[in-house]
Amino acid sequence: MARRSGARFEAEERGLSAELAEFPFEDSPLLVAADLTTGPAGERFGYDERMDEILSRYAPEDPVHRTWTRARREDKLLVRPQVPCVHA
C-alpha cells in the first residue's frame, strides 16, 4: 500500500518521494489511527505501545526505525482524537 501510515516519511528516508507522489493520497486520520493502534497479529495497542513495538523490530540505522522516530510526534497528534472511534 503506497499510502499507508508513515509512507511519506519512509519515502523521504529512502529517497523515493517522487515515486510515492505518483499515487493518490487519501488523508484519513481514522485509517492512520487504526493502523497505529493495532499490532501485527491484530492485537490492540496504545499508540506509544505500538510505536515501541515497531521500533523494537528494527535497528536504529534501519530506514523503518528512522521513519517512525520522525513520524512519531506528528502522527500522535493525528491519532489521539481518533482512538475512541477505532476501538469502539
Per the model's pLDDT, the better-predicted residue between 1 and 58 turns out to be: 58
Q: What is the pLDDT of residues 6-31, one digit of tens each?
A: 888 899 999 999 999 998 877 678 88
Q: Is residue 2 part of a domain?
A: no
Q: Is residue 41 part of a domain?
A: yes
Amino acid type, 39: G
Q: How many domains does the chain have?
A: 1
Q: Is residue 25 part of a domain?
A: yes
Q: Cβ–Cβ contacts within 10 Å for residue 30, how many?
A: 14
Q: Identify the domain containing residue 67 by its residue range.
A: 7-86
Q: Is residue 80 part of a domain?
A: yes
Q: Is residue 13 part of a domain?
A: yes
Q: Which helix (H) or strand (E) holds 42?
A: none
pTM: 0.72
Q: How confident is the model at residue 83 (pLDDT cuts 50, 70, 90)?
A: low
Per the model's pLDDT, the better-predicted residue between 83 and 27 turns out to be: 27
